[in-house]
Structure 1
Amino acid sequence: MINSHAGNNSFWEAALNALQVKLVYNRAPLAAVSATGPVILIANHPYGVLDGLTMCYLASRLRPNFRILLNASLCREERIAEHTLPIDFAVSVAATRTNIDSKRKAIEVLRGGGALVIFPAGAISTAISPFGQVTDMEWKLFTAKAIQATQATVLPVFFHGHNGRLFQLVSQFSQTLRLSLIIYEVIKRIARPLHLRIGEPIPYAKLAAFNSRQDLIDHLRQVTYALGGIPQPDPARYKRYENNFVRKLKASAAPAVEH
């Protein structure tokens, strides 16, 4: 059921309107979400900004109490602070503490009947090779942990499209250039439609049979990409892909700060 507390002038809608982004999507699944109980919204992460704004807009239509796990560097905007849970990609004790605290709060939000937005890959979709298929990296297990811990309903969302070929090319060798192009990619999409497809809400009863978190997250990835008509390869391939990608970024000697 769509949240009656969501106003037309929410920050998320205002941001999308400012960018003149028209969302093109099927609305029926939103209305099918129960008005009570925890909800986790998951999606692929092809853009980095527009998909984040859109997911928060959708979450605001479902629950007044929602959070998004977000790159810590993007959590400084006061107008959205009440909805963000920072994830710090720095290698430090402080970052580890921040991440543990954010994940704990995420579980608390769900146990309170709220909604949580997660991009399970934790990074923007990237081409496996400079001119190869653009896809998410390995989906992390925290999403499965949160589902099992709170028996949340899952709402899968698939975003069509991805960042441009220049973004994919520089991602092969420079994290600094990769990050600098994210805003460029946003500018490119001003006044253009953004196509996404929302899947039917999946009640926990349909996921309870998955004892393994890995099996559960692999299943949800398949379900999400199926909304876009994209078959997924063997999950082991994502791990090899991510290991290679992370190795290249470490070689570029730049900090990883995206989500």
Structure 2
Amino acid sequence: MLDIEATLKTKFPTLDHTTKGRLAKKFIKRFAHEDEINSFIRQHPHLEGSAFIHKAFEHFDFSYNINSASRKNIPAQGRVIIVANHPIGTLDGMALVDMVRSIRKDVKVVANDLLYQVDPLKSCFFPINNMSATASHKTQFKAMVAALESDQAVIIFPAGEVSRLSRKGIKDAAWKTGFLKLAKKTHSPILPLHIEARNSAFFYGMSMLYKPLGSMLLVNEMFNKNGRTIGLTTGKLIPSQVIENCSLTLPHLANKIRESVYQLKSKKIHTPPFKTVDTISHPACRQSMRMELESQQHLLTTPTGLDLYIVDYVADSALMHELGRIRELTFRAVGEGTGTCWDLDQYDRHYRHLILWDDAKLEIVGGYRLGECQKLIETYGQESLYANHMFNLNKSIEPYLANTLELGRCFVQPKYWGTRALDYLWYGMGNYLAQNPQIKYLIGSISLSNSYSQSARELIVSYYNTQMGMDEQLANAKCPFVVSDEIQKIADKEFTGEYKTSFKRLNARLEAQGEKLPMLFKQYVELCDDKGTQFIDFNVASDFCDAIGALIMIDLDKVKPNKKARYLNGFSKKVA
């Protein structure tokens, strides 16, 4: 329940000591609507959270609007810090919570202590210690860190107070930098959001006379919003790497983000002062995906109940929408990705897709993109190969292409990391190869994230080029990755010997930098004997966060006997 008397004693303990203070107290209590608010709460004891907000908005005849483009910018999952201006001080926070909860339920807002007294709303807010500002901030910060590390959404009004009237109009005060410290600590992206709204002239006048008095009148402002609709506009997502690597001071960066929030209300197109990315698209309908899978080719079922399918592209498909969404989500988690709302391109239309499906949860676990090179070339020409996008394919590769399967876009979504998901995808690959015995070679690009240090990337590239480089130059990178002379000298000295010894030296150097070799590099090499896996060239993909694409070729005749027995021979509809 709202207790104005207790709030005044906490915020202004000396208010009763003077005649002026006692008059101010009477004035504040007159406009606090304490009885009306508490009566409303008692009338709806069964409501809390969003249900209570809806009833409150109905009571005040208050609403908000947000267009579809802005709504799509709200991430449907994963950690995010939403920062906004704070023009009203009460209903705007409730509106943001309600809007975000219409997309995802795991969101809370940093509230002022007046709102936190409304018990039905406490599930929407971070806890506040009204008696101690210092303890409150520490408690809030820890709670927000825990929420973000659990991949939840947090709404913050960085000004820490309601907007006031100034010479530049109704604007927030300078933003505090706590949200940036929180973003850095939790590696969370930031979503700017602008709220188009204002309080009454009476409020701004009282605030100019005595600022704390204005704050205590915020409750009264809720009661003059009858028939009002506020506007919500979102910007594009600011990746956590931009915040972490920014050279600006925190106050300067906070001001830049504040400015970008106010630019959102303008119809003019403003270029953000920092790199942004599209928000990953919202999930597709799970039941629609299951229905679409019924018409696709089922390969086998794993012991854990996961299913492997070969899926052909269908336009306007829930399954393809979700495939692109989960790909982008997964690649961004390792510092890669397209930066668009999903990872789908023109090649997906003509390639086939190996998908690992969890029917219990109705979601895509992982996948591969497969292209039979000969069929693609016969139908669409050699430029239809994805390898041709990053590499100039030489004449010498043509004899191989008649019997080659191109692999790409291998992923296992983060929720399934640490499981046998990749192993199961390889079972599915083996099943497909068993059905297509004409395939003798695999070709494809393994990605090495730009999140690795430059020296680590050079070490990895120089190692595989030295140990597994192909003598025959089948292709040349369009944007080749260049290894420095310094690292090449290390490679010439340490990586030219026996494979295991050289591999230990590579790992030791990576570990010294706090880096770890990407799993697929090791697994593809150890799939074969006698250089059955060879590296052709290394390209920098500017359209994939500058990740390095290592083009490899695998000779299936050189797959190790134990791997061949495991993945390529004797398949049934049930994996052992």
**TM-based fold match above 0.5:** yes
The corresponding residue for 1:146 is 182
| CA distance in structure 2 between the partners assigned to 1:230 and 1:119 by the alignment | 23
The answer to whether residue 66 in structure 2 is matched with residue 66 in structure 1 is: no
Query: For 2:245, what is the secondary structure of its paired residue?
Result: coil
- Higher relative contact order at CA 8 Å, sep ≥6: structure 1 or structure 2? 1
The corresponding residue for 1:195 is 231
The corresponding residue for 1:125 is 163
Whether the 8 Å contact between 2:111 and 2:126 is mirrored in structure 1 is yes
What's the TM-score, normalizing by structure 2? Answer: 0.35
| CA distance in structure 2 between the partners assigned to 1:230 and 1:28 by the alignment | 14
Across the aligned residues of Structure 1 and Structure 2, the Cα RMSD in angstroms comes to: 2.6
The corresponding residue for 1:98 is 136
The corresponding residue for 2:310 is none
Stretches of structure 1 that go unaligned for 5 or more consecutive residues are: 1-7, 232-259
The answer to whether residue 266 in structure 2 is matched with residue 229 in structure 1 is: yes
The answer to whether residue 52 in structure 2 is matched with residue 11 in structure 1 is: yes
1:219 Cα deviation after fit: 1.8
Larger radius of gyration: 2
The corresponding residue for 1:44 is 85
1:147 Cα deviation after fit: 1.2
- Among 65, 87, 90, the alignment partner of 1:24 is 65
The corresponding residue for 1:256 is none
Query: For 2:222, what is the secondary structure of its paired residue?
Result: helix
Whether the 8 Å contact between 1:158 and 1:225 is mirrored in structure 2 is yes
1:9 Cα deviation after fit: 5.9
| CA distance in structure 1 between the partners assigned to 2:107 and 2:216 by the alignment | 29
Query: For 1:36, what is the secondary structure of its paired residue?
Result: coil
| CA distance in structure 2 between the partners assigned to 1:72 and 1:184 by the alignment | 15
| CA distance in structure 2 between the partners assigned to 1:192 and 1:214 by the alignment | 34
- The alignment of Structure 1 onto Structure 2 pairs a total of residues equal to 219
Whether the 8 Å contact between 1:26 and 1:198 is mirrored in structure 2 is no
Pick closer, same or farther for the CA change 1:207–1:52 going to 2, 3 Å: same
Query: For 1:140, what is the secondary structure of its paired residue?
Result: coil
The corresponding residue for 1:252 is none
| CA distance in structure 1 between the partners assigned to 2:225 and 2:159 by the alignment | 22
Whether the 8 Å contact between 2:85 and 2:172 is mirrored in structure 1 is yes
Compare 141-150 and 152-161 and name the one that shifted more: 152-161
Q: Give percent identity, aligned residues only.
A: 24
The corresponding residue for 1:245 is none
Query: For 1:201, what is the secondary structure of its paired residue?
Result: coil
The corresponding residue for 1:218 is 255
AA matched with 1:223: S
AA matched with 1:159: I
Whether the 8 Å contact between 2:50 and 2:101 is mirrored in structure 1 is no
AA matched with 1:113: D
Pick closer, same or farther for the CA change 1:225–1:88 going to 2, 3 Å: farther
AA matched with 1:218: N
The answer to whether residue 145 in structure 2 is matched with residue 107 in structure 1 is: yes
| CA distance in structure 1 between the partners assigned to 2:82 and 2:53 by the alignment | 16
Runs of 4+ in 1 over 6 A off after TM superposition: none
Pick closer, same or farther for the CA change 1:69–1:187 going to 2, 3 Å: same
Query: For 2:223, what is the secondary structure of its paired residue?
Result: helix
Stretches of structure 2 that go unaligned for 5 or more consecutive residues are: 1-48, 269-576
| CA distance in structure 2 between the partners assigned to 1:12 and 1:111 by the alignment | 27
Query: For 2:76, what is the secondary structure of its paired residue?
Result: coil
- Among 198, 202, 219, the alignment partner of 1:162 is 198
| CA distance in structure 2 between the partners assigned to 1:166 and 1:30 by the alignment | 33
Whether the 8 Å contact between 1:107 and 1:146 is mirrored in structure 2 is yes
1:180 Cα deviation after fit: 4.7
